[in-house]
Amino acid sequence: MKETTCSTAQTLANEQREFLTQMLQTSLPGARVEFHADAINVQHAGQQDDAAIVGMVKRLVYIARSLNKDLLFHNAATPQFERDPQPYLESTREVIQVHPGFFTLQGGFLEVFKAINGRVRAMADEVDAIEQEYPAVWPVRLFKQIDYFHEFPHQVILCAPVKDDFDTRKRFADTYGKDAEFETVAMDQMMAPAEYGLEPAVCDCCYYGLENTSELQNAYYTCYNKVFRNERSGFGGLDRLTCFSVRDIMFVGDEQFVLEARQVLIERLSTFLTSLQLDAKIETANDPFFSNDAVMKSVFQNAHRLKYELLARIPHLDRDIAVGSINFHRDFFGKAFNIETLTGATAFSGCIGVGMERLTYALYCQHGERLSQWPQPVLDYLGLGRRVDQGR
C-alpha cells in the first residue's frame, strides 16, 4: 500500500467524512482513509500518483461543502420598503390580471423579469450548458413514468381536445356559442381522453429526452419555460400563480459530477442573491408540498438534503417565499428513463430552478414599487441603468 497525505483547511463533519470515504473507495478500490484535524491520509494500491489523489480529495472536499448544512447561505439585508407593491404595479398596468392565477406583464416589471432570466441564463452559459426548448405540455406517458399523478395529483392540469367527429364538433359549437350561458366547459362526453397535460415543471422534459441513452457524457442543460400548477393565491397575488415562468439549469451524469455541479450552482446563486441585495437565504426545504404522506416525504427530503430553497423575505407579509430551488434527484430520473453514463452506471441528475414572477415580485417588495427607488448597484447588476421617477 502507498500513502498520500492531503492537507485540508477545515475539519470535516462526520457526514462529510463518510461521503469522502465512500467516494474514494469507489474510485480507488480497497483504499483506506484516515481523517486528522488538518489532513486526510489515503492508503491505496498506488495505481494513481500523489498529484492525482490530492486532486481527487480536493474535488471531493469541495463537493462535500454543503453536505452537513441546512442553512447554506444568508444575506441579512434590511429591506427599505414595507408595502405590498402590487396595487401600484396594477395601477401603472405593469401587471394586469388576465384571470385569477395568471397575469400579463409589461413595462418596468417585465424589464426586471427579463433581466433576471438573462442573469440565470448567463450562469448557465458560464458552465457551458446546452440550451433546450420544450413544449409546454407533457405526454401522459411522461407523467406516468415518474408517477406524477400519484405523487402530485393536486398540481395536475390535463388538456383534452373536442372529439374528432362531425356530430360532436357541431354539438360543441352549438353548446358553446357566443350567446350561450357558460363560464366553464364541462369535460364530458364531447371531449376526447387527455393525451397530454400542461407541464408542471421544466426539467423533466430534459431527462425524458435522454430516455434509453447509454454512454451519456456529463453535461449541463438549460431551458426557460412556462409552468402550470393547479394552485393560485386566494388574494390575486403574484406570489402563487397557476401559470408562471421558470428558468432551470439541469445537470446529468455521474454522481460526482452532479454533486459538484450542484455545489458550483449553490455558490453562483449565493452571489446572485447578494448582488440583488435581497434579504434572502438558501435553506433545506421543509415545505411539505407533497400531497401523499407529506410528513414522511419531507422527513426523507430533509434527511438526504435533496431539496434546498432560495427564500426571499416579503416584508409586508412578514414571511419568506421560495424564489428558487436546488434539487438533487439521485438516480431517480436515470432509473425512470433508463439513462446510463459512460461507465454503464445509472445516471444521476439535479437541477436548479428560478421562478421569475416570484423573484421579480420579491425585489419590488424589498426595494420599492418604483424602479427609481431601487439601489443603483442592483439596477446596474440587472443592466437597467439609472431610473428617474416619472412622478406617476
Binding site residues, ligand AMP, CB under 6 A: 201, 229, 231, 240-241, 244, 246, 322-325, 353, 355, 357-358
Least separation in angstroms between residue 348's CB and ligand AMP is 18
Provide, for the chain, the percentages of residues in helix, strand and coil under a 3-state DSSP scheme, each rounded to the nearest 5. Answer: 35, 25, 35
C-alpha–C-alpha distance, residues 273 and 323, integer Å: 10
DSSP 8-state code for residue 216: B
- Give the number of other Cβ atoms within 10 Å of residue 13's Cβ: 13
**Residue closer to ligand AMP (CB basis): 4 or 360:** 360
Copy the grid coordinates of residue 54: 490530492
Q: First CA to last CA across the chain, in angstroms?
A: 76
DSSP 8-state code for residue 154: G
**Residue closer to ligand AMP (CB basis): 63 or 312:** 312
Q: What is the CA radius of gyration of the chain?
A: 24
What DSSP element (H or E) covers 367? helix 356-367
Q: How is the beta sheet containing 348-355 ordered, strand by strand?
A: 71-75, 280-284, 307-314, 319-330, 348-355, 243-253, 219-228, 130-131
User: What letters, b where the CB count within 10 A reaches 16 and e where it falls short, cover 164-173?
Assistant: eeeeeeeeee
User: What letters, b where the CB count within 10 A reaches 16 and e where it falls short, cover 191-220?
Assistant: beebebbbbbbbbbbbbbebeebeebebbb
Q: Give the E-state strand segments of 188-232 in sequence order.
A: 196-198, 219-228
DSSP 8-state code for residue 283: E
Place of cell 443603483: 376
C-alpha–C-alpha distance, residues 220 and 228, integer Å: 24
* Partners of 247 in beta bridges: 224, 354
97 three-class SS: strand
Structural contact between residues 256 and 63, judged by C-beta atoms closer than 8 angstroms: yes
